[in-house]
A and B are shown apart, each in its own frame.
Chain A
Amino acid sequence: MARCSVCGAPAVAYIRYQRRYLCRDHYIEFVEGKVRRAMEKYRMLGKGYRVLVALSGGKDSAALLGALASLREKLGYELVAIHIDLGIYEYSVKSREAAEGLARKLGVPLIVVPLKEVLGATIPELARMSGRPACSVCGMVKRYVTNAAAVELEADALALGHNADDLAVYNLKSFLNQDLEAISKLGPKTDSVPGVAVGRIRPLYTVYEKESFLYAYLKGLPFVHEDCPFVENQQMERQLKEVVNKLEEEKPGTKVQLVSKLALRIRDYPKPRGEIRRCKACGLIASGDLCALDKLTLRLFGEPRGPRIREWIRERARELGLIPRRPVEAAAN
């Protein structure tokens, strides 16, 4: 039986690119160390920060919240979580249960946004009504709601659970499409635009997908481990994941190098053209007169529904005592 390279206890993982076996405790320490180093290296968080964590209910958001919760006392930030109930049938029911169980277990206040109630339609309904692919509508809605919540909560950062594999794949996909502006958004963090957009951070930037799964599993964190029914829409991403894993298999460490180099050169990629504007309906970030969500809801429902989402989140945050935001000294949770 393989033994932990640190303490000699039975090993649960072999880190090929470091040629180390690790037991459960040292494996957890290893992943949390990776998260901590990435947060420090890329200056993601500071003392007294309020961090809003986006929970999908899957393994990556479980690992994200688990690691952030373990490090919060040492690093001195406050955590709040958000989950969007997308209304994708049974998948969303299970995802919501997992997100609720996770936040409860880790003692993090959670805002659940049920799309059907708050926006008036689920993702499958929005896709049908608009004639757009479900994944495209879903991505746009998630970006809107998480940003709106981060603004309402006066969060200093919005934490997302993208792992190294996700970033490697999106980098390659964007490169194949020569969408260099898209690559400019794949760094460890993006900047805030005061009042309209909260900067995003990716604490799992250097954590492999497999590491994220094993971490969440070994810590006993609740997560849903199944495919979204719309997954067949993402064939190219899946194929690229296989390609990246083949490279990793042949040359261990490929993925960590890829994301580290990407982070190093991220500022050299061109940013999307056009000035940053304020949506005339909801006041949040937009590239034209209206933001993407208000444009879509105006077309589908005859009214922009961003303001309604913002108001709904504000009320929930007030009920939970999260706003008005307490002074930094009293914010530890």
Chain B
Amino acid sequence: MVPETVKVRLVPEGEEREVEVGEKGVKVRDLVKMLGLNPEAVVVLRGGAPLVDTDIVKPGERVDVVRVLSGGCMSLG
């Protein structure tokens, strides 16, 4: 049986993860929460195209979960 998983790449960390999503797939918002992340802090891309909260990611698909906070420098003048 083919595993019902989605391949996730975390950006910019570069870490890869496989997440079990069942045969029907999972809503983007739920996928992000399954990864322990806040939907407010990430953008999910499939083939480079941004997905919205309610889009479904199906088993066998690959997505990038991009942490929008980067640089880290918040020095305010």
A226 touching B70 in the complex, CB below 8 Å, given contacts A12-B49, A21-B52, A214-B43: yes
Q: Give which listed residue, A1, A142, A218, contacts B55 with CB less than 8 A.
A: A1
In whole angstroms, what is the CA distance A66 to B68 when docked? Answer: 17
Stretch of A110-118, A162-170, A298-306 at the chain-chain interface: A162-170
A218 and B50 within 8 A (CB): yes
A256 CB–B CB distance under 8 Å = no
In whole angstroms, what is the CA distance A228 to B76 when docked? Answer: 16
Contact flags A133-145 to B (C-beta < 8 A → 1, else 0): 0010011001100
Q: Give which listed residue, B39, B43, B53, B75, contacts A213 with CB less than 8 A.
A: B43
Nearest-Cβ distance from residue A270 to partner chain B, whole angstroms: 17
A58 touching B71 in the complex, CB below 8 Å, given contacts A210-B40, A210-B41: yes
Contact flags B35-60 to A (C-beta < 8 A → 1, else 0): 00011111100000110111100000
A-side contacts of B12, CB under 8 Å = 225-227
A166 touching B40 in the complex, CB below 8 Å, given contacts A217-B50, A227-B12, A241-B69: no
Q: Enumerate chain A interface residues (CB-CB to B < 8 A).
A: 1-2, 11-14, 16, 21, 56, 58-60, 135, 138-139, 142-143, 146, 160, 162, 165-167, 169-170, 185-186, 200, 208-210, 212-214, 217-218, 224-228, 230-231, 234, 237-238, 241-242, 245-246, 248-249
B-side contacts of A218, CB under 8 Å = 50
B19 CB–A CB distance under 8 Å = no
A225 and B73 within 8 A (CB): no
Cβ-closest chain A residue relative to B72: A231
Q: Give which listed residue, B49, B50, B72, contacts A238 with CB less than 8 A.
A: B72
B-side contacts of A226, CB under 8 Å = 12, 70-71
Q: Enumerate chain B interface residues (CB-CB to A < 8 A).
A: 11-12, 38-43, 49-50, 52-55, 66, 68-77
B-side contacts of A59, CB under 8 Å = 68, 70-71
A14 and B73 within 8 A (CB): no
Q: How many A-B residue pairs have CB under 8 A?
A: 107
A-side contacts of B66, CB under 8 Å = 213, 225
In whole angstroms, what is the CA distance A160 to B52 when docked? Answer: 29
B-side contacts of A139, CB under 8 Å = 75, 77
A214 touching B50 in the complex, CB below 8 Å, given contacts A185-B76, A246-B38: yes
Given contacts A1-B55, A237-B72, 12 further A-B contacts (CB under 8 A): A14-B53, A14-B54, A59-B71, A166-B76, A170-B74, A224-B70, A230-B72, A234-B73, A241-B41, A241-B69, A242-B41, A245-B41
Q: Give which listed residue, B42, B49, B75, contacts A135 with CB less than 8 A.
A: B75
In whole angstroms, what is the CA distance A246 to B39 when docked? Answer: 9
B-side contacts of A230, CB under 8 Å = 72-73
16 contacts between A and B (CB under 8 A): A21-B52, A160-B76, A167-B76, A208-B40, A209-B69, A212-B68, A214-B68, A218-B50, A224-B70, A225-B70, A226-B70, A234-B72, A234-B74, A241-B41, A242-B41, A248-B40
In whole angstroms, what is the CA distance A2 to B49 when docked? Answer: 13
In whole angstroms, what is the CA distance A53 to B50 when docked? Answer: 28
B-side contacts of A237, CB under 8 Å = 72, 74
Nearest-Cβ distance from residue A100 to partner chain B, whole angstroms: 17
Q: Which of B12, B50, B54 has the most CB of A within 10 A?
A: B50
A2 touching B75 in the complex, CB below 8 Å, given contacts A59-B70, A245-B40, A249-B40: no
